[in-house]
Structure 1
Amino acid sequence: MRFAPTLFALAFLAFALPAAAEPNAGFQVIQVPDPQGPPIEVGVWYPTDAPATAPARGMGNIKVAYGAPLQGQKLPLVVMSHGNGGWFGGHYDTAITLAKAGFVVAALTHTGDNYKDQSRATDMANRPRQLHVLIDYMLGDWTEHARLDPKRVGAFGFSSGGFTVLAAAGGEPDLRRIEAQCGAHPSHYECQMVKRSPVGAEAFTTPWTHDPRIRAVVSAAPALGYTFKAESLKALTQPVQLWRAADDEILPDPFHASAVKAALPASVDYHVVAKARHFDFLTPCDDYARKNLPVLCASNPDFDRAAFHHTFNAAVTAFFTARLALTHP
């Protein structure tokens, strides 16, 4: 049997040449100036062809290429907002997955609502404002801003961060609904927070910061879902992927994710995760977290958080890939 020389050569090359290597995730920590407060600490993950050498401090055992050069042009940007008392590294496995898929991911540590400082934990309007400051910086002042595509910006948030990205993308929550909700459910998590640190009167008059550059939103277990109604979400016209933990012990159903689902159009990409608890959206726990942060690691005994994150990260990446596709010149 004889083969055409060209076909034989192509077949030989297909077997002889190694497959194109998957990009690694580069990583850096930056300080973003904030005109209304101290600099905002931000972790940035991005695609690179440099070798991944070691895990970033405090972020498990997934290797990254610390300080490596950025690979690519016209890259999409995803900003991340953590939950109450969190930090920029709370979703590092999701960020790394996105970076390897070609995204630049910038996750901030919210000033006044993080694991070191809870002084502004109930100042919810400050969160989308800080996210806006981060987008401004990444698209205008970051050292590699010219390699980002300002028309391809997504936002990912969890818990209070899930609330944050909905507001930043156009939602107009009504915080006055908290009083009635907490009157009926005083033991709920957010009601205990408000009891310790009451919402100031200015919270009801401060305008919400919206950022029209956000083109797609992923909101996981959003807090204060009952403060949104269909009318207050009518300006949020971007595609939304919404996640709910079926056994959420912190933000119980139907007051949060389900309330947001009811207020959004039917086109929302909605996922209910069977047997998941609230903190299962955080990166799977390593030995340090299991020992020192057991509350964050208390999954249901028959729930495999690591296996879920394989599915979760793939779904989030697929959503942003499809919704932030390069469709302009």
Structure 2
Amino acid sequence: MKLLMKISLMLCAIAIMQQSASASGDVGVRQVAVPSKERGSDLAVTVWYPADSGGKPVSLGESLFFVGTPAMLDAPIAYGKFPLVLLSHGAGLAGNAQALSWIAMPLAKQGFVVAAPTHPGNTGANRSAAETMKLWLRPADITETLNATRKNAAFREHLELNKVGILGLSMGGSTALAIAGARIDSKRLASYCDTDALNSSLCEWVRQSGVDLHAMDLTLAGRDNEDARVRFAMAIDPGPVDVFEFSTFSRISIPVVLVNLGQPGKIPLTVQAAKIAEAIPHATYSTIEDASHFSMFPECKPGAAEIAESEDLGDPICSDGRGRSRNEIHAQLIDMVVTAFSRALKTSP
């Protein structure tokens, strides 16, 4: 009886230590180079995690247009084991892992390890229309990130290996669906930019870059990218959804949460997820009606909208729909994401 009481007290102590670690508010961040045979180079992976005090203050995701998010570089990881959230960004101006610090940071504060690769060719000086449209490589980046994080000496003893989820935004949302088991239809991908009806901004860039999707080698486009180690998926404005073989959505067996930003009827078809949610057996769907697709970008700096217009970027990167600020919309999205992943990865055995 005394032995059982001692064991019980020890378990309670461990639980309290884990709760205090995740509630301390300290978030560490590390940069990890992850080898990718398919890419032929290392992936730059950013990892956020519950941390003890220490490290070097840094601001992640800051740019000419966007406000950065603070974290502590190389801070010691907190005591305990934590679920892992794989994070996939979109393409374009905010198409890199650190631009999603605004959502990764709160997840880490709530006791998750968050690992996000920057998908090569999707943003920055090396942005490439051809690489961006190789959508089947993005899930492979996620799988390589999962492999490496599980083996990494700094994290492997702190991960609950049976509690892994994926969060994707925009093109990262379609990546999350592919990891869950959806497959690309190579014919649909080849014809995606035949007109501007689906995504005029993206397709204009593809054409200006001299990329012909019909001439691209799409041999591997329809392959199976499912990673069975991932137990839950959440996708926010997933796009392009038009390139998937629709029948494969019904084969997804894990729970999926889908969110669209905007009013029903005004959500662009290429990210419309309502019908997908109906096709996936264990899916839920919701909208944030006063948000826009650009609400998933970091908060804009003062004057950023004017700079973007003067540089003729073509997209209203600081526009958020009707009424509320981006900060308020982010707060709602953070609450939705933290609630969904806590329910999926913290309450299951």
Instruction: Give matches, 1:254-293, under 5 Å.
Output: 256-265=272-281, 267-287=282-302, 290=305, 293=308
Amino acid at match of 1:275: D
Amino acid at match of 1:70: I
Residue number in structure 2 paired with 1:233: 249
Deviates more, 1:241-250 or 1:77-86: 241-250
1:285-309 CA distance string (max 9 Å, x none): 2348556556421223623211111
8 A contact 1:168–1:209 mirrored in 2: yes
Instruction: Give matches, 1:111-126, under 5 Å.
Output: 111-119=120-128, 120-126=131-137
Residue number in structure 2 paired with 1:323: 344
C-alpha spacing 1:74/1:235, structure 2 compared with 1 (3 Å): farther
Deviates more, 1:143-152 or 1:256-265: 256-265
Residue number in structure 1 paired with 2:80: 73
8 A contact 1:243–1:271 mirrored in 2: yes
8 A contact 1:26–1:69 mirrored in 2: yes
Amino acid at match of 1:39: D
1:31-72 CA distance string (max 9 Å, x none): 111123211111111001316874424443543222111013
8 A contact 2:56–2:74 mirrored in 1: no
Shift, 1:132, TM fit: 0.7
TM-score, structure 2 as length reference = 0.79
1:197-256 CA distance string (max 9 Å, x none): 233553254423221111111101111212335521133211111111115999713763
Amino acid at match of 1:111: P
Matching of residue 45 in structure 1 with residue 48 in structure 2: yes
Q: Distance in 2 between matches of 1:40 and 1:115?
A: 15
Q: Mind listing any 5+ residue stretches in structure 1 that lack a counterpart? A: 1-18
Residue number in structure 1 paired with 2:324: 303
Q: Distance in 2 between matches of 1:113 and 1:316?
A: 24
SS at match of 2:232: strand
Instruction: Give matches, 1:5-154, under 5 Å.
Output: 22-36=24-38, 37-50=40-53, 54-59=57-62, 60=67, 62-85=69-92, 86-119=95-128, 120-154=131-165
Amino acid at match of 2:237: A
Shift, 1:27, TM fit: 1.2
Of the three residues 166, 174, 182, the one matched with 1:171 is 182
Output the aligned Cα RMSD: 2.9
SS at match of 2:166: strand
C-alpha spacing 1:187/1:48, structure 2 compared with 1 (3 Å): closer
8 A contact 2:171–2:238 mirrored in 1: yes
C-alpha spacing 1:144/1:184, structure 2 compared with 1 (3 Å): closer
SS at match of 1:32: strand
Q: How many residues align?
A: 309
Amino acid at match of 1:188: N
Deviates more, 1:237-246 or 1:112-121: 112-121
8 A contact 2:61–2:69 mirrored in 1: no
8 A contact 2:192–2:243 mirrored in 1: no
1:271-326 CA distance string (max 9 Å, x none): 21112211101222234855655642122362321111111101101110110125
Shift, 1:175, TM fit: 3.4
SS at match of 1:243: strand
Q: Mind listing any 5+ residue stretches in structure 2 that lack a counterpart? A: 1-18, 310-315
Matching of residue 242 in structure 1 with residue 258 in structure 2: yes
Q: Distance in 2 between matches of 1:56 and 1:126?
A: 29
Residue number in structure 1 paired with 2:218: 203
SS at match of 1:116: helix
Shift, 1:165, TM fit: 0.9
Amino acid at match of 1:219: A
Deviates more, 1:216-225 or 1:281-290: 281-290
8 A contact 1:249–1:277 mirrored in 2: no
SS at match of 1:90: helix
